[in-house]
Amino acid sequence: MKRRDFFEKSGCGLFGLMLAFFGLTACKKGEAPAEESTAAQAAKEEMSQKDMIKKLLMEKKGLSAEEADAQMAEFEEKVSMVKTMCICRTCPTYVSEESELGFCHPLVGKSKVITGEKGCVCPNCPVYKQMSLKNGYYCTRKSEMEQEMAKIG
Ligand code: SF4
Ligand code: SF4
């Protein structure tokens, strides 16, 4: 599959590279900040990232809200496929505290847990081969698209 096809079919759209996460809530004076479970916080961050991507689709790509929603649905569908095929768990860089997969996909973004680099088995992954990816260490260096975008400034 050609690289362009991957980005189209995997949902790795030009504007799917956002890593900015929201999710911080202001506390009322006198109230202790409520603790959130890791899963709840991750869900909030994921939602915020999706919101950011949709916003960019509309503002930068000129999509209507309906078109952006359709694109987001495609992103969602393909992210699941990438995660299913991902072999990150077999990688020496992957850590037991991490549960995320598919870091090469823009909707996943880099890991919030993994910081070290002890080797990358991405080139052995079926996603990497089928999608003709070029980079690696997506968990620490961001998605394929982001790394490619960084090369051209
Ligand atoms: S290329 Fe790497 S990050 Fe992407 S799915 Fe495969 S192992 Fe996971
Ligand atoms: S993205 Fe690469 S370096 Fe990171 S855990 Fe997956 S295979 Fe290992």
Assess whether the C-beta atom of 128 lies below 6 angstroms from ligand 2: no
Q: 98 versus 46: which is more confidently predicted?
A: 98
Mutation to probe ligand 1, out of 78, 85, 89 (largest number of atoms < 8 A from CB): 85
| Nearest ligand (C-alpha, residue 125) | 1
- Whether residue 22 is contained in a domain is answered as no
Indicate the pTM of the whole model. 0.67
Scan for tokens 């890791």, then name that residue. Answer: 38
Structural contact between residues 77 and 83, judged by C-beta atoms closer than 8 angstroms: no
CB-neighbour burial class of residue 37 (10 A; exposed 0-12, middle 13-18, buried 19+): exposed
- Whether residue 75 is contained in a domain is answered as yes
Assess whether the C-beta atom of 128 lies below 6 angstroms from ligand 1: yes
- Check pLDDT > 80 for residue 68: no
**107 in helix, strand or coil?**
coil
Per-residue pLDDT at 4: 46
Question: What is the total count of domains within the chain?
Answer: 1
Across 44-65, average pLDDT: 70
Q: 21 versus 112: which is more confidently predicted?
A: 112
Domain that holds residue 133: 3-13+38-151
How far apart CA 6 and CA 112 sit, in angstroms, is: 25
Across 133-152, average pLDDT: 85
- Whether residue 106 is contained in a domain is answered as yes
